[in-house]
């Protein structure tokens, strides 16, 4: 019999570890070549991992929830010999291995505590049975009781390990806050004409066009006029990298956490095609079927947090990008039009930008142009 240990393979996209989400086999199960044995969760997606050989599972190298590094043992499989030699050795055998002796749990010595220390513990609600005794001969000292009083009470706390997608989000946003000197600017926008334009487009094309698609189209149009924001900073070489095309990231809330599917070359897509691609990408992100490759390579991110019923935000830049655009909910508000106060469909848009790539004039110019597109979609046609 031959034991073969399968190592956690390289899952691509520079991933260095994965969290075991679900074992599909148990010790003693028989597996075949290319059978899926485990589902792991990386910083990008959930991945099913097949085993490259057949046999009987004799060891699983990790429990559900544990993190394994790429290249470390994942599973050990014992391959059965296909045929014997036919010869029988007489007088020689394999002795039964010694059974491990069960260790007896030593009976702990009785804890000793003085009446004074016992009263101190009782007055403060301390369970002396749970205290470590540091005094000579197993004596619980005053210091033992006082030490327990300074420790936080964790009985009402629930702790959860930061792993998988949550860890990837935490790492990326922490890096953004640590490395990028960001600033945020915002403006209130009258979106009444935008909603009217959307209805006209849907009537004319007999197609459903999402507001997100219109906002995405306006975003790439504004980036043509302000390409400084479609960039990133190479800190090692002190250079700004400006991208010729817009790979537009769309922030999407999913059951696994925040994910940002990327629409490559979004500036090359017309409105209807962009609407279709956005719908497919966000749906795939939510149901967990979006490949990891489609979650990387973005050059600018659009965040429609209005779907959560909020007005404004100061979004954190999706490192290593240079800017992120946020759009709040659209609601009825009083607004002055031609000197008259009237009810209009209002929203708030905000832009967080990397102050290393541009100054407030550029950021404000981009945001004002984007707002103008929303308020006057017909004028946006000249830039599309």
Does 363 score more than 70 pLDDT?
yes
pLDDT in tens, 127-149: 888 788 887 667 788 888 888 88
Look at the block and give the residue holding tokens 């009810």: 343
Look up 355 and say whether it is catalytic.
yes
Same fold flag, 2-79 and 164-382: no
Q: How confident is the model at residue 349 (pLDDT cuts 50, 70, 90)?
A: very high
Identify the pLDDT of residue 106: 42
Q: What percent of the chain has pLDDT over 70?
A: 87
Convert 306-332 to b/e letters by CB count within 10 Å (16 or more is b): beeeebbbebbbbbbbbbbbbbbbbee
Query: Which fold, 2-79?
Result: OB fold (Dihydrolipoamide Acetyltransferase, E2P) (2.40.50)
Q: Nearest to residue 166, comparing CAs of 43, 249, 262?
A: 43
Percentage of residues in the chain having pLDDT higher than 90 = 59
Which residues contact residue 69 at a Cβ distance below 8 angstroms, ignoring those fewer than 6 apart? 8, 16, 17
Read off the pLDDT of residues 80-132 as tens digits, 9 standing for 90 and up: 755 444 443 333 334 444 444 444 434 444 456 766 677 788 888 888 887 88
> Is residue 162 pLDDT above 60, yes or no?
yes
Tell me what pLDDT residue 206 has: 94
Catalytic residue, chosen from 61, 245, 319, 355, is: 355
Q: Which residues of 132-162 are buried (b: 16+ CB within 10 A; e: fewer)?
A: ebebeeeebbeebbeebeeeeeeeeeeeeee
Q: Where are the domains of the chain?
A: 2-79, 164-382
Residue 193 has pLDDT above 90, yes or no: yes
* Residue 196, CA distances (Å) to 70, 86, 247, 371 in order: 52, 85, 28, 16
Mean pLDDT of 334-348: 96
Tell me the DSSP string of 187-247.
EEEE-HHHHHHHHHHHHHHTS---HHHHHHHHHHHHHHH-GGGSEEEETTTTEEEE-SS--
Q: What is the CATH number of domain 164-382?
A: 3.30.559.10
Q: For position 169, what pLDDT does the model report?
A: 86
In contact, 300 and 229? CB cutoff 8 Å: yes
**How many residues are listed for the chain in this entry?**
384
- Which two tokens mark 87? 């010869």
Averaged pLDDT, 191-209: 94
pLDDT digits (tens, 9 = 90+) for 233-288: 999 999 999 999 999 999 998 888 889 999 999 999 999 999 999 999 999 999 98
More reliable by pLDDT, 110 or 171: 171
Predicted model pTM: 0.67
Q: Under a CB-based contact definition with an 8 Å cutoff, are residues 288 and 45 in contact?
A: yes
How many CB atoms lie under 10 A from the CB of residue 287?
10
Check residues 217 and 164 and name the one with the higher pLDDT: 217
90 CA to centre of own chain: 62
- What is the DSSP-derived secondary structure letter of residue 135? B
């Amino acid at each position: 019999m031959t034991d073969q240990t399968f190592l956690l393979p390289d899952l691509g996209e520079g991933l260095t570890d994965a969290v075991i989400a679900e074992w599909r086999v148990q010790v003693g199960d028989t597996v075949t070549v290319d059978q899926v044995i485990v589902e792991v969760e990386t910083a990008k997606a959930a991945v099913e991992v097949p085993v490259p050989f057949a046999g009987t599972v004799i060891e699983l190298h990790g429990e559900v929830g544990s993190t394994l590094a790429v290249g470390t043992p994942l599973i050990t499989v014992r391959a059965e010999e296909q045929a014997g030699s036919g010869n029988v050795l007489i007088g020689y055998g394999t002795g039964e291995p010694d059974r491990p002796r069960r260790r007896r749990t030593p009976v702990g010595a009785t804890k000793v505590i003085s009446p004074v220390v016992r009263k101190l513990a009782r007055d403060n609600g301390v369970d002396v049975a749970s205290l470590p005794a540091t005094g000579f001969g197993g004596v619980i000292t005053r210091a033992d009781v006082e030490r327990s009083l300074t420790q936080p009470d964790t009985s009402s706390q629930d702790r959860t390990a930061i792993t998988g997608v949550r860890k990837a989000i935490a790492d990326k946003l922490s890096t953004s806050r640590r490395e990028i000197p960001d600033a945020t600017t915002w403006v209130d926008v009258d979106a009444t004409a935008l909603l009217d334009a959307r209805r006209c487009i849907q009537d004319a094309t007999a197609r459903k066009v999402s507001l997100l698609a219109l906002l995405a189209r306006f975003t790439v149009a504004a980036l043509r006029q302000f390409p400084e924001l479609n960039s990133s900073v190479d800190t090692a070489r002190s250079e700004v990298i400006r991208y010729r095309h817009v790979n537009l990231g769309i922030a999407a809330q999913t059951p696994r956490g925040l994910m940002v599917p990327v629409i490559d070359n979004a500036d090359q897509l017309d409105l209807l095609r962009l609407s279709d691609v956005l719908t497919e990408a966000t749906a795939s992100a939510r149901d967990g079927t979006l490949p990891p490759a489609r979650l990387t390579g973005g050059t600018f991110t659009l965040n429609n947090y209005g779907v959560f019923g909020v007005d404004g935000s100061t979004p954190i830049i999706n490192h290593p990008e240079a800017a992120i655009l946020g759009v709040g909910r659209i609601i009825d508000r009083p607004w002055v039009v031609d000197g008259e106060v009237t009810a209009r469909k209002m929203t708030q848009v905000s832009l967080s930008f990397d102050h290393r790539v541009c100054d407030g004039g550029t950021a404000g110019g981009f945001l004002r142009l984007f707002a103008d597109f929303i308020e006057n979609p017909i004028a946006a046609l000249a830039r599309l």
